[in-house]
């Protein structure tokens, strides 16, 4: 497994360099990209199988032992996220290959995409705070270019907001890492978890609060979400889909990992998380209800659903954290598939505005079916994957007597039903609308296809299939979630795995 975990970080970076050398051969780049992402998915599955039956895999790079050297660590939590993330990255890559109109930046899209995959894998596998920061920054650096792909003024303006906010979040994260090193003399998370208990309580809590703010900005929790709804809808749909499914979830991974390992939650900290959870759920849902564009509506929905993950973490019980993990796993493919559906709508209609598109149920029944399955899962209708995640969270909330946030989670489910019903009734029912005309830079009119290309449909179907697998295989997946929850709530398990007895 040591070779597998190393290749998960190194292979996409090497492939990105190879694709840059092959910039004139887009077809070859597509083959390289799909092959590497497929191999990463297979490697992630093998890694997950290993860590569920053995101890976490710890790789000491350069033969420097922890805490001095760089370590890559895979436990059940990170391995589960890796599997779902790689499946999502592969599906969106296939979707991008099948798009009928290639972006003018297509020759470097493939390399940037693989660099983003490197950052995702590096973030989930980092065993120290600095390399967690590096993994996130690799992801963000490629995303800064991807979000402005196409070069429209609106994209560049919104992209600048995205860049500035994430640079601010990165600065805060780097400062919090520096303070951790100043207080403990280490950036290794396992080592820091031991030494933070020895410093004054006020300093400990202050560093934890600063790190929560830094990761909270990246995860778009309330009140730090304001940048997301303006940044995501203007980007190309493949880029938005990856961002929706993965980038905010990396922020949530950082919150869960650091708050359970380094800053154990109790008392006021848990009340703060629960308050943030309730506000994030409600504000995101109300924002989604007010939107008239499908991608902007789904962007507010990202914010709302992040609140459920915070809810489970704030309960801080075995079932609560397990529910948060399951909900996190469910959100990655569901959110991505909904944005891919928005791309299918744009492909055949030329717009994702609820006022301009109607009758897609008759014109594109496949797109309607994909939206229905993903949307019903997002709402939490049984027996789809969203139901099991919300059921666990509600059960945990009732067991811990957190009545207010539990009630809010149920109300927000109704609001989710309302805004998705709004999309369904306006875009998929009624008489089919006439497609929007798209004019190219030279004045020519681009003819929209009657149907989306097969590869785009296949990629969307594959990702919706991942959400169905989460529902069908809920028992073994829930077992892994409870195992991951037990490991997270026992920091000594992670510490012993990395540092030894």
Distance CA(260)–CA(7), nearest Å, equals 28
For residue 433, what pLDDT is reported?
Answer: 66
Output the CA angle 457-459-465, nearest 5 degrees: 100
Phi, psi (degrees; rounded to nearest 5) at 439: -100, 130
Convert the pLDDT of each residue in 277-325 to its tens digit. 999 999 999 999 999 999 999 999 999 999 999 999 999 999 999 999 9
Tokens 């290794």 locate to: 188
Output the CA angle 79-85-88, nearest 5 degrees: 145
- Statement: the pTM of the whole predicted model exceeds 0.75: yes
Q: Report yes or no: 293 and 346 within 8 Å, Cβ to Cβ.
A: no
Write the CA distances from 26 to 29, 165, 250, integer angstroms.
Answer: 5, 33, 29
For residue 152, what pLDDT is reported?
Answer: 65
For residue 442, what pLDDT is reported?
Answer: 45
Residues of the chain with pLDDT under 50: 102-105, 440-443, 445
Convert the pLDDT of each residue in 174-189 to its tens digit. 999 999 999 999 999 9
DSSP codes of every residue in 425-477: IIIISSSPPPPPPEE-TTSPEEPPPSS--HHHHHHHHHHHHHHHHHHHTHHHH
For residue 79, what pLDDT is reported?
Answer: 96
Q: Report yes or no: 321 and 485 within 8 Å, Cβ to Cβ.
A: yes
For residue 352, what pLDDT is reported?
Answer: 81
Q: Report yes or no: 105 and 150 within 8 Å, Cβ to Cβ.
A: yes
Element (H, E) at 58: strand 57-60
Q: Report yes or no: 183 and 203 within 8 Å, Cβ to Cβ.
A: yes
Q: Report yes or no: 481 and 326 within 8 Å, Cβ to Cβ.
A: yes
Taking the CB of residue 150, how many other CB atoms lie within 10 A of it?
Answer: 15
For residue 104, what pLDDT is reported?
Answer: 44
Distance CA(473)–CA(478), nearest Å, equals 9
Distance CA(351)–CA(348), nearest Å, equals 8
Q: Which of 11, 244, 12 is nearest to 147 (CA)?
A: 244
Query: What SS3 class is residue 418?
Result: helix
For residue 290, what pLDDT is reported?
Answer: 92
- CB within 8 A of 60, min separation 6: which ones? 66, 69, 70, 71
The upper half-sphere exposure of residue 267, i.e. CA atoms within 13 Å in the direction of its Cβ, equals 3
Taking the CB of residue 268, how many other CB atoms lie within 10 A of it?
Answer: 9
For residue 438, what pLDDT is reported?
Answer: 55
Sign of the alpha-carbon dihedral angle for 436, 437, 440, 445: positive
Q: Read off the tokens for 56.
A: 């976490």
Q: Which residues pair with 73 in a beta bridge?
A: 58
Q: Read off the tokens for 401.
A: 């007597």
User: Rounded to a whole number, what is the distance in angstroms from the first to the last CA of the chain?
Assistant: 21
Q: Which of 325, 297, 296, 299 is nearest to 310 (CA)?
A: 325
Distance CA(69)–CA(63), nearest Å, equals 8
Query: What SS3 class is residue 364?
Result: coil
Element (H, E) at 233: none
Q: Read off the tokens for 421.
A: 């019903």
Distance CA(192)–CA(144), nearest Å, equals 31
- CB within 8 A of 168, min separation 6: which ones? 217
Distance CA(168)–CA(217), nearest Å, equals 9
| Cβ density class 153-183: b for 16+ within 10 Å, e for less | eebeebbebbbebbeebbebbeebbeebeeb
């Amino acid at each position: 497994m040591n070779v597998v975990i190393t290749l998960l970080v190194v292979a996409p970076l090497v492939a990105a360099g190879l694709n840059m050398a092959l910039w004139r051969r887009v077809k070859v780049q597509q083959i390289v990209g799909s092959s590497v992402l497929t191999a990463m998915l297979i490697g992630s599955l093998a890694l997950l199988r290993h860590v569920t039956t053995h101890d976490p895999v710890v790789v000491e790079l350069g033969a420097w032992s922890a805490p001095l050297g760089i370590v890559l660590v895979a436990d059940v939590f990170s391995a589960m996220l890796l599997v779902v993330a790689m499946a999502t990255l592969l599906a969106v890559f296939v979707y991008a290959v099948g798009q009928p109109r290639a972006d003018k930046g297509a020759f470097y899209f493939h390399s940037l995409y693989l660099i983003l995959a490197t950052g995702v894998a590096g973030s989930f596998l980092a065993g120290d705070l600095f390399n967690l920061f590096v993994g996130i920054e690799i992801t963000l650096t490629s995303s800064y270019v991807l979000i402005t792909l196409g070069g429209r003024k609106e994209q560049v303006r919104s992209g600048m907001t995205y860049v500035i906010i994430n640079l601010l979040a990165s600065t805060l994260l780097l400062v919090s890492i520096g303070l951790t090193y100043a207080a403990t003399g280490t950036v290794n998370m396992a080592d820091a978890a031991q030494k933070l208990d020895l410093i004054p309580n006020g300093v400990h809590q202050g560093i934890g609060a600063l790190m929560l703010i830094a990761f909270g900005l990246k995860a778009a929790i309330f009140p730090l979400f304001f940048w997301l709804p303006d940044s995501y809808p203007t980007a190309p749909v493949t880029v938005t889909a990856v961002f929706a499914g993965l980038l905010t979830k990396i922020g949530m991974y950082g919150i869960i990992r650091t708050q359970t390992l380094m800053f154990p939650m109790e008392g006021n900290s848990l009340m703060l998380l629960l308050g943030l959870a309730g506000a994030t759920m409600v504000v995101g849902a109300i924002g989604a209800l007010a939107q008239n564009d499908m991608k902007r509506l789904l962007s507010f929905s990202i914010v709302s659903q992040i609140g459920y993950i915070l809810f489970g973490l704030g309960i801080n019980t075995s079932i609560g954290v397990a529910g948060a993990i399951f909900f996190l796993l469910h959100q990655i493919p569901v959110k991505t598939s909904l944005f891919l559906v928005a791309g299918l709508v744009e492909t055949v209609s030329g717009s994702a505005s609820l006022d301009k598109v109607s009758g897609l149920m008759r014109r594109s029944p496949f797109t309607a079916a994909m939206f229905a399955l993903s949307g019903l899962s997002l709402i939490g209708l049984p027996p789809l994957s969203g139901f099991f995640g919300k059921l666990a969270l509600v059960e945990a909330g009732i067991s811990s007597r957190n009545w207010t946030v539990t009630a809010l989670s149920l109300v927000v489910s109704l609001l989710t039903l309302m805004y998705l019903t709004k999309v369904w009734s306006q875009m998929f029912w009624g008489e089919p609308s006439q497609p929007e005309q798209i004019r190219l830079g030279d004045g020519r009119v681009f003819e929209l296809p009657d149907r989306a290309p097969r590869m785009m449909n296949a990629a969307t179907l594959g990702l919706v299939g991942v959400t169905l697998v989460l529902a069908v295989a809920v028992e073994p997946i829930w077992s892994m979630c409870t195992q991951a929850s037990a490991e997270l709530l026992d920091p000594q398990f992670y510490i012993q795995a990395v540092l030894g007895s």
